[in-house]
Amino acid sequence: MANRWTGSWLSGPGAAREPEADEQQRWRGERLGLPQDGPDAVAGWGRRAAALVIDWVPCALVAEFLTQNPATSALALFAVYVALAVALTGRTVGKAIVGLRVARLDNRARPPIGAAVLRAVLTCLVIPPVVYDKDGRGLHDKALRTVVLRTR
């Protein structure tokens, strides 16, 4: 029994990695049972970046003209907007324009409000979205068991 609990942290940094399959993954999302292309395929980084810009610019403009501290206000406004939009519709306006949505892994439905809020906060921290796995899921998506999917 001692080897069982010590093996997870004494075996070195590679022990915490996800097990490798015998066959190499051919596309992002294959391990998750997602298609390679089209609707419900894992979204690429170009579309995600475009959606982020589309969503960020209005928040930054509102904060610039209506608040005393535009940087902090823009970030807070962005977090609230993203959390509400994802919880209510599964996407933001930016994601809708570029053809993306946020979905839970278990049933591909939109995330509940608590998960959407936490996902928005983690997105604002920047590091979780840019550290990602073979399936293109950032740390924020892995933590909340969500994925960004294409809608078209």
Q: What pLDDT digit, counting tens, does each position of 104-147 carry?
A: 999 889 999 999 999 999 999 998 888 989 998 999 999 999 99
Overall number of domains in the chain = 1
Q: Is 15 part of a structural domain of the chain?
A: no
Q: Whole-structure pTM over 0.85, yes or no?
A: no
User: pLDDT band for position 18 (50/70/90)?
Assistant: low
Q: Is 80 part of a structural domain of the chain?
A: yes
Residue 15: the pLDDT is 44
Q: Is 8 part of a structural domain of the chain?
A: no
Q: Is 125 part of a structural domain of the chain?
A: yes
pLDDT, mean of residues 31-44: 93
Q: Which two tokens stand for residue 97?
A: 């324009």
Long-range contact set of residues 33-36: C-beta below 8 Å, sequence gap at least 24? 34/135, 34/147, 34/149
139 class by beta-carbon count within 10 Å (0-12 exposed, 13-18 middle, 19+ buried):
middle
Domain span at residue 118? 40-150
Q: What pLDDT digit, counting tens, does each position of 53-85 carry?
A: 999 999 999 999 999 999 899 999 999 999 999
pLDDT, mean of residues 21-45: 88
Report the SS3 class of residue 16. Answer: helix
